[in-house]
Amino acid sequence: MRTITHLLVGGLATTAILTGTAVTATAQSDKITDKRADVVQYDDFEEDEAGTILDRADSLASGIEATSATVKHSKKSIKVTIRFADLTRQEVQAGAVVRVKGSKQPRYLISSISRKKVAVYDLKGDEMKQLCTGKQTKKAGKKGTITFSVKRTCLKKPKAIKVQTGVSRFINFDNESFTIYQEVISSSRVRTPESTKWLKAS
């Protein structure tokens, strides 16, 4: 699980730093429609850093081809819903990287730790301290969804947040080799997750 979490941090957090400057907007919910046929397969991170972008059939077959992600920032919680073309029943890991107002770096990672749970990690420093857990629900199959939410108090009640999301699936993982499918939610890019607008807790 550690490897999976680190992958999400690497993939999502790194790109978050590169994402442009802040645009202030009043909103509490934002939906990003995902580009189609854009699941990336990696067979080795050292030899295959860029991975392979799968075509439509193989993206669907990966079981994690996403169609959209919706983020809601309410007074009590932060809720993410990722929708899929045909979601696998096998284990997948969903994640979100959260920026808060006043911080240039991504501040928190929310990541699946089991089928029914996510954890929030503090990205400040190298330790990736786990701050709390939240609930996750998964509906597999056509038009399937993964929804997770965490309490806003766990993220110290941020005034506004920007969120990037993605999903990963490991196949045949052992210490020597693995295949991973990764889907980042973006309307235009394949490896860079798109950030929501600034979402206020209103």
Min CB(190)–Ca ion separation in Å: 9
CA separation, residue 104 to residues 20, 23, 76, 166 (Å): 10, 12, 24, 20
Q: Which CB sits closer to Ca ion, 36 or 115?
A: 36
Min CB(166)–Ca ion separation in Å: 10
Dihedral of alpha carbons 194, 200, 201, 202, sign: negative
Which residue of this chain has its Cβ atom nearest to Ca ion in the complex? Answer: 34
Surface-to-core class of residue 89, CB atoms within 10 Å of its CB (0-12 exposed, 13-18 middle, 19+ buried): exposed
Min CB(36)–Ca ion separation in Å: 6
Q: Which CB sits closer to Ca ion, 34 or 194?
A: 34
Other Cβ atoms less than 10 A from the Cβ of 141: the count is: 11
Q: Which CB sits closer to Ca ion, 30 or 38?
A: 38
Q: Which CB sits closer to Ca ion, 26 or 90?
A: 90
CB 109 within 8 A of CB 95: yes
d(CA 38, CA 171): 18
Min CB(158)–Ca ion separation in Å: 28
Q: Which CB sits closer to Ca ion, 100 or 168?
A: 168
Min CB(156)–Ca ion separation in Å: 32
3-state secondary structure of 23: coil
d(CA 40, CA 66): 12
Contacts to Ca ion by CB under 5 A: 34, 38, 65-66
d(CA 97, CA 53): 22
